[in-house]
Homo-oligomer: A and B are copies of this chain.
Amino acid sequence: MKFNKNAVGREIPEYLEGIGELVPFKGVDAIKPTKKKAGAKLRMRIQDEPKIVASIEEAIKKSGLKDGMTISFHHHMRNGDTVVNRVLDIIAKMGIKDITLAPSSLSPCHGPVIEHIKSGVVTGIQSSGLREPLGDEISKGILKKPVIIRSHGGRARAIEDGELHIDVAFIAAPSCDEMGNMNGRTGKSACGSMGYAIVDAQYADYVIAITDNLVPFPNLPASIDQTLVDSVVVVDEIGDPKKIVSGAIRFSDNPRDLLIAQNAVKVIINSGYFKDGFVYQTGAAGASLAVTSLLREEMIKQNIKASLGLGGITSQLVGLLEEGLMSALYDTQCFDLDAVRSIKENERHYEISASFYANPNTAGPAVNNLTFVMLGALEIDKDFNVNVMTKSDGTINQAVGGHQDTAPGAKISVILAPLMRARIPIIVDRVTTVCTPGEAVDVICTDYGIVVNPRRKDLIETLTKAGIKLKTIEEMKEMAEQLTGKPDPVEFTDEIVGVVEYRDGSIIDVIKKVKD
């Protein structure tokens, strides 16, 4: 196997069986697209032929799904999803094999996929997220082809560029009419935005809506509309409502989270970018929520208003919108019930597709409008590279999500992380898996201080002038190691079980099989 060292120093094979030729990562935005957008198969529906079919099996037969094809799902049902497992069981029963499973993400509830891998029904997986127990098993090498990990924007790009061609998209629809007009706003399985599924529906050769809530025609708004949907199947349930969205997530009172958040807010308000019209994204973890809460106070105090909030939307961001502190929300995914309510009620809470959110190969994805983004990390290394995919034991877990998309998109990307977790240091010499390149990471806020990437001389100067004490990454690493000791390196075999794509489709890292 021939290897090329990529721009973050990882050895990338030139060719990988089951995937093909690999382009090594060349740096942020280094690869410009040259092709044309892909296009789904054109089809003309026979007029008056009903789209509603009696069963998923019948819909699959009509779709022409065959051995070797690629199917997709969205992950708006999160850990409450019952559609992936149900469809795979039916595919298995129908005797179809060698399927590539290409959902927007997978959750812990998708453990049953393991059996379909072992029986040869599923031979490839392309996803943003892979959790226990599936991630562990893949790390042991059970999957025939290496898994491809893509960010949300990277997946939209791969679909639109034609690298990920979806033969049949299965779309769990919280509300749907007989023509296939669907949205996520009503019904017992309401999930709010259907942003990830929109791209699938636009580019798949055949689209099957699976709904537990058939509503009168026309169902509006049509997040995915009748021109894209070939079959509609009504089932008893598409998910467990209790696990689809959370109730409002509570503000953290963990003192460590508060320390991290205080550092982040210090950076934001002294960065020179904290001005009317800023654009903000954060996640739903404790420290992120704490940042938003503290930031809100500063916005009120300084009378500064944001133009836009992005990302997976939480009740906190809905609050900023409703208070008039934020002019609009772009929503690819709702994280809680408040977000679902808001997207239904408020026209300034705007549903966008994963491509609108983060596809770099467009004339302007939303992530590139970000002023500040708050991001997490499993590991960060001396070069500021971030790992959000593999655990300290080297196995696949978690998800790349929008990390890789928002970090380069934002004016200031801030990693929020405790210095250690369960006595394992977060800042290390070399991350197990590079997901986001250090080039795109501007600031690290831990509970022990603030580090600014030396590339951001401007920011170091501004913050220092504002009287903020900064640490170097080496200082932070040493502090961690003093507290925890230097962890033993994880041992891997040479077998590659996965690749992590950068948002432009190049390979930023490979994931190897762990040693038993």
B-binding residues in A (CB < 8 A)? 29, 32-45, 47, 51, 160-162, 179-180, 207, 216-218, 220-222, 225-230, 277, 307-308, 327-328, 330, 347-348, 350, 352, 355-356, 359-366, 368-369, 409
Contact = CB atoms under 8 A, between A and B. Distances in A.
Given A179-B369, A226-B366, A44 B218 contact: no
Nearest to A33: B42
| A-B pairs, 5 with minimum CB distance | A37-B39, A33-B42, A227-B362, A226-B364, A36-B39
Contact of A361 (B33, B42, B328, B409): B42
Given A47-B368, A47-B409, 13 more contacts: A37-B41, A37-B42, A179-B364, A180-B363, A217-B277, A217-B307, A217-B308, A218-B327, A225-B356, A227-B356, A227-B359, A227-B363, A227-B365
Contact of A44 (B33, B216, B220, B277): B33
Given A227-B356, A227-B364, A363-B229, A350 B160 contact: no
19 contacts: A29-B44, A29-B47, A37-B40, A39-B39, A43-B361, A44-B361, A44-B362, A45-B364, A47-B409, A179-B364, A180-B363, A207-B363, A218-B330, A222-B350, A226-B364, A226-B366, A227-B359, A227-B365, A230-B363
A163 to B, nearest CB: 11
B35 A38 contact: no
Q: Which label, helix, strand, loop or mixed, suits the secondary structure of the A interface?
A: loop
A368 B178 CA distance: 14
A153 to B, nearest CB: 11
A137 B29 CA distance: 50
A41 B35 CA distance: 6
A279 to B, nearest CB: 9
Contacts of A51: 363-364
A330 B221 CA distance: 11
Contacts of A409: 47
Contacts of A39: 36-39, 160, 162
A365 to B, nearest CB: 6
Nearest to A177: B307
A45 B228 CA distance: 28
A202 B348 CA distance: 23
Nearest to A367: B47
A186 to B, nearest CB: 13
Contacts of A361: 42-44
A350 B277 contact: no
A441 B34 CA distance: 46
Contact of A161 (B42, B180, B226, B347): B42
A225 to B, nearest CB: 6
A389 to B, nearest CB: 25
Contacts of A221: 347, 350
A306 to B, nearest CB: 11
Contacts of A47: 29, 368, 409
Contacts of A228: 362-363
Contacts of A369: 179, 217, 226
B363 A226 contact: yes
A366 B226 CA distance: 8
Most chain B CB neighbours (cut-off 10 Å) among A38, A42, A222:
A42
A355 B228 CA distance: 11
A35 B36 CA distance: 15
A368 B41 CA distance: 20
Given A216-B327, A218-B350, A277-B217, A43 B363 contact: yes
Nearest to A31: B44
Contacts of A355: 227
Contacts of A162: 39
A40 B307 CA distance: 30
Nearest to A34: B42
Contacts of A363: 43, 45, 51, 180, 207, 226-230
A51 B363 CA distance: 9
A356 B227 CA distance: 6
Contacts of A230: 363
A305 B226 CA distance: 22
A246 B51 CA distance: 39
A351 to B, nearest CB: 10
B36 A41 contact: yes
A307 B45 contact: no
A216 B45 contact: no
